[in-house]
């Protein structure tokens, strides 16, 4: 369960509020109130009873501690909540108490309440996602042509631009935004099926009550009740886990680029952030570490929810219950991760001079492919590859710059004299379509 000590580190105040016990109870009460109103509109429940139920819900008088104690015996939170609500309504209007929770089952109230909480969570996530996209776009634009070493297998590979790295981040975040928008109507759907998904207790009025209830809660009306089909919850969890994974990709790169020997970026500075309890000089990647810590938990939470999808018949024993813990925790982590990602990108300090210096760290080896491709038309691609590879091994073995080694090879200089080789070994001249890709991503971002 959430720790008050760690919640400010891994979560966000707004997301914690969405998944607090009080918010969970409020969401279920909102479902009960809307149910009574929908049934009154359909002529199932007296209008006076609906008004009495709404008045009790508005007082927010449910004792959460007593509810928690009772839930342990009942097996879920909805059963004692309905009993407590019925008792409160009875105290005000005995006749109205007959109509509390009419025709519904516990899972209707809990699942639909959960969907209402997911809607609030998505709104918060989308706010921080928009912040992160705007910050990534600004960095991509500002550093469109800032060269740096691209790295594969943690080794320098070819020159890229920092703008391209940020454009890739922006591109991924925009895809997450699109997924969220496309999945919203599917995920944010009413769950209302009664005891076994037939709404038999409401007779012929069941579908009409469901339609009215969905409208009152501003939720999609599904084709069938989904007590036993947990794909909506799994999709929500997958979306959140995907956001965490993409944020962790950024955090991992930032942490690596902040290494003392690399020094290409710095996380935003703030009093008390990233320091050491014993080393005054340290500036640790604290935001990145928090994101990565959450990313270590998200896959397991997603797996728990996925495993719950294999529930038994019309009502699962165990899989559904595991969602009560896993999904809110995943949402909390996602909220914290997205808030920190936005903060990280908005305040990221970029060091172009260190990027330029690191491009020269290999003495020209980084640009071996450029020389190979320039010689390929004359020597053939494979022959050029083998000749340049041999020159690279010699440069490394003798601790020399690649340019000097290449300039000693008469067959190479016959096709590319030293001045031409120097041009080929300039990282700024081998950036390919990096600028084009940045511009294309930024154009899509601006368009939407």
| Residue 230: active-site member | no
CB-count exposure of residue 252 (10 Å: 0-12, 13-18, 19+)? middle
| Residue 119: active-site member | no
Catalytic option among 3, 201, 276, 433: 276
Q: How many CB atoms lie within 10 A of CB 376?
A: 15
CA distances for 42 relative to 48, 89, 121, 198, 397, angstroms: 14, 21, 31, 18, 85
Q: List the beta strands (DSSP E) in 143-284.
A: 147-152, 155-161, 265-266
Give the end-to-end CA distance of the chain in Å, rounded to a whole number: 39
Q: How far apart are CA 198 and CA 361, in angstroms?
A: 70
Q: What angle do CA 305, 307, 313 make, to 5 degrees?
A: 105
Q: How far apart are CA 205 and CA 30, in angstroms?
A: 21
Q: How many CB atoms lie within 10 A of CB 446?
A: 9
**Unique residue bearing structure tokens 């997924």:** 179
Q: How far apart are CA 5 and CA 242, in angstroms?
A: 26
200-207, long-range: CB within 8 Å, 24+ apart, which pairs? 201/102, 201/103, 202/39, 202/44, 202/103, 205/42, 205/43, 205/44, 206/103
Q: How many CB atoms lie within 10 A of CB 29?
A: 22
Residues in the chain: 448
Catalytic option among 151, 315, 400, 418: 315
Could you please report the per-residue DSSP string of 360-376?
A: TTTTTGGGHHHHHHHHH
CB 134 within 8 A of CB 170: no
Active site residues: 276, 315
């Amino acid at each position: 369960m959430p720790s008050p000590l760690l919640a400010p580190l891994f979560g966000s105040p707004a997301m914690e509020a969405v998944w607090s016990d009080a918010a969970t109870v409020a969401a279920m009460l909102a479902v009960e109130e809307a149910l009574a109103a929908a049934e009154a509109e359909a002529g199932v429940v007296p209008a006076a009873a609906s008004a009495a139920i709404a008045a009790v819900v508005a007082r927010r008088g449910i004792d959460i501690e007593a509810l928690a104690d009772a839930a342990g015996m009942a097996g879920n939170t909805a059963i004692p909540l309905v009993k407590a609500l019925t008792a409160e309504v009875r105290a005000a209007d005995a006749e109205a108490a007959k109509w509390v929770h009419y025709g519904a089952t516990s899972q209707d109230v809990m699942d639909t309440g959960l969907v209402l909480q997911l809607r609030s969570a998505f709104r918060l996530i989308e706010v921080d996602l928009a912040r992160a996209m705007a910050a990534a776009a600004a960095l991509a634009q500002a550093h469109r042509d800032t060269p740096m070493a691209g790295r594969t297998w943690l080794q320098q590979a070819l020159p890229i631009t920092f703008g391209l790295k940020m454009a890739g981040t922006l591109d991924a975040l925009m895809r997450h935004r699109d997924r969220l928008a496309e999945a919203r109507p599917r995920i944010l759907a009413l769950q209302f099926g009664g005891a076994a998904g037939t709404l038999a207790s409401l007779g012929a009025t069941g579908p009409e009550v469901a339609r009215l209830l969905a409208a009152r809660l501003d939720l999609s009306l599904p084709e069938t009740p989904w007590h036993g089909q947990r794909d909506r919850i799994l999709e929500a969890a997958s979306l959140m886990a995907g956001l965490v994974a993409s944020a962790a990709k950024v955090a991992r790169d930032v942490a690596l680029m902040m290494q003392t020997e690399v020094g290409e970026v710095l996380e935003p500075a703030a009093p008390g952030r990233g320091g050491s309890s014993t080393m005054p000089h340290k500036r640790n990647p604290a935001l990145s570490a928090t994101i990565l810590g959450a990313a270590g938990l998200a896959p397991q939470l997603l797996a728990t929810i996925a495993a719950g999808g294999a529930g038994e018949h019309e009502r699962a024993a165990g899989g559904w219950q595991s969602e009560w813990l896993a999904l809110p925790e995943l949402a909390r982590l996602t909220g914290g991760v997205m808030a920190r990602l936005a903060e990280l990108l908005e305040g990221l300090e970029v060091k172009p001079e260190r990027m330029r210096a690191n491009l020269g760290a290999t003495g020209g080896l980084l640009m071996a492919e450029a020389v190979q491709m320039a010689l390929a038309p004359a020597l053939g691609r494979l022959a050029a590859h083998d000749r340049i590879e041999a020159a690279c091994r010699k440069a490394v073995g003798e601790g020399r710059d690649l340019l000097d080694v290449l300039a000693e090879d008469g067959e190479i200089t016959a096709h590319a004299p030293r001045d031409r080789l120097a041009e080929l070994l300039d990282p700024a001249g081998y950036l390919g379509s990096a600028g084009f890709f940045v511009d294309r991503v930024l154009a899509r971002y601006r368009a939407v």
